[in-house]
A and B are shown apart, each in its own frame.
Chain A
Amino acid sequence: MLEQELKEIWKHSSETKKIKFETPQLLIDLNDKMKHIENSIKRRDITEIAASLFGMLIFGYFAYEIPFTLTKIACVLNILWFAYLIFKLKNNKRQKQLNDLNLPIHEQLDNQNKNMQTEAKLLNTVLYWYVLPPLFVNILFIFGFGDPIAYDWSPLIIETLSDKNLLHWLPISLKMKIIYISGALIFNVFVIWINKRTVIKRINPIIRDIERIQDQLKNENRVNN
């Protein structure tokens, strides 16, 4: 009796609103929304690749122009690192499970959990793929940098640097080298911190939430919430 009564109460609960679809417009809206989302994803992908390609181009130019051997090597390594960065980000996207809402709830939660774990792993390991390689390359770049005048660098470049009063900003002296390397170290510590913080503050709570719901679905005798 109570069971039937509850089902009746439940069924009538949607009568508080009359839902009306403006059909032709709805299909247009849905298409627009879909395009908007697809375009944002495309834009984000293009930005990521463009930033890396820009970096490759700049260091390609440096490698060609700068006469110091160690710095030249650092430029080439930097280009390789940018290429690896594109591969790494693309690969991470490929590893993610498809967001298939046709799946049963338990499997869908499992996919979300795996995606979050992949994201957490990527951010937790930035030290090894995002920080250490370019840091090493940057140190090589800075240490390899010599005096442009002594190395008989292109007169046009030396003139431009002198005119703009930029020569003393270059990492030529030991003092400037130490300042630049310290700056790079501080920046990279910040990068690690911000990524770890994202994992702790944003991703881990989501993983815990997903696992809690998975447990609640599977197991008996769980404490509510």
Chain B
Amino acid sequence: MQSNPEIDFEEILEKNKHKIYRICKVYAVYPIEPQDLFQEVVFQIWKSYSTFKGTAHISTWIYKISLNVCLRSKIKFDKKNSKMVRLESIQFLTPKHIPDESEQEKYQFLRDCISSLNEGDKSIVILYLEDLSYKEIASITGLSENHIAVKMKRIRKKLFDCITPKLN
């Protein structure tokens, strides 16, 4: 498939790390930290990398793995509290420029509104916020494009109804 899979894997991680982290932040619920989920996703991407056929766009594939891992671990973690992968070679540092408080507050509002949605709607709205087309969302979720369009109309209304009073 690729000439040097290891280099490509690193590139893929570097390019997509923020996407993955954003998804993990939404799905991580105490006692799971977003960092734990992130490491699990990285491990699963590495594990599945050899089976990536290259027929889909790499970022669509990353979204698929990330959401599958997050959903799966949520189901297991809620009930069993099983252990996740720990990779010391991934570091989460505090950046020099931290978003100001108002930005963080806005994110918190958004996160609260996303969390109020059911799991099915949550995964769709995350992909919508990532600016993916309905076609891409459909290929990641396994639903039809029309189905996504209908669902998105309702989810968008729910999300806007929830967040508008908070942002104003």
Chain A residues within CB distance 8 Å of chain B: 2-3, 5-7, 9-23, 25-30, 33-34, 100-109, 112, 202, 205-206, 209-210, 212-218, 220, 222, 224-225
Do B48 and A102 touch across chains, with their CB atoms under 8 A apart? yes
Do A13 and B25 touch across chains, with their CB atoms under 8 A apart? yes
Q: A18 to B25, alpha carbons, bound, how many Å?
A: 14
Closest to B114 in A: A10
In this complex, the member of B72, B120, B121 whose beta carbon has the largest number of chain A beta carbons within 10 angstroms is B120
Could you give 11 example pairs across A and B, Cβ below 8 Å? Answer: A2-B167, A17-B94, A19-B92, A30-B87, A104-B139, A104-B140, A105-B67, A112-B75, A214-B120, A217-B123, A225-B119
**B37-77 with Cβ < 8 A to chain A:** 38, 42-44, 46-48, 51-53, 61, 64-65, 67-69, 71-72, 75-76
Min CB gap A11→B, angstroms: 8
Return chain B residues, CB-CB under 8 Å to A33: 43, 85, 87
Closest to B138 in A: A104
Do B92 and A6 touch across chains, with their CB atoms under 8 A apart? no
- Known pairs A13-B22, A17-B21, A21-B13; A217 contacts B129 (CB<8 A): no
Return chain A residues, CB-CB under 8 Å to B43: 30, 33
Do B117 and A9 touch across chains, with their CB atoms under 8 A apart? no
- Known pairs A6-B110, A108-B72, A220-B154; A215 contacts B120 (CB<8 A): yes
Return chain A residues, CB-CB under 8 Å to B88: 25, 29
Return chain A residues, CB-CB under 8 Å to B163: 2, 6
Interface string of B125-136 (1 = CB under 8 A from A): 000011100000
Q: Which among A18, A26, A220 is the interface contact of B150 at CB below 8 angstroms?
A: A220
Q: A20 to B48, alpha carbons, bound, how many Å?
A: 21
Return chain B residues, CB-CB under 8 Å to A23: 10, 89
What is the predominant secondary structure among interface residues of chain B facing chain A? helix
Return chain A residues, CB-CB under 8 Å to B124: 217
Given contacts A13-B22, A17-B35, A108-B72, 7 further A-B contacts (CB under 8 A): A12-B103, A21-B90, A213-B71, A216-B121, A218-B120, A218-B147, A224-B116
Interface string of B1-25 (1 = CB under 8 A from A): 0000010011001100111011001
Min CB gap B8→A, angstroms: 12
Return chain B residues, CB-CB under 8 Å to A103: 64, 68, 142
Q: Which among A12, A107, A209, A225 is the interface contact of B107 at CB below 8 angstroms?
A: A12
Min CB gap A121→B, angstroms: 19
Do B131 and A102 touch across chains, with their CB atoms under 8 A apart? no
Do A101 and B65 touch across chains, with their CB atoms under 8 A apart? yes
Closest to B107 in A: A13
- Known pairs A9-B110, A104-B139, A218-B143; A225 contacts B78 (CB<8 A): no
- Known pairs A15-B95, A21-B10, A202-B80; A10 contacts B22 (CB<8 A): yes
Q: Which among A20, A25, A105, A206 is the interface contact of B64 at CB below 8 angstroms?
A: A105
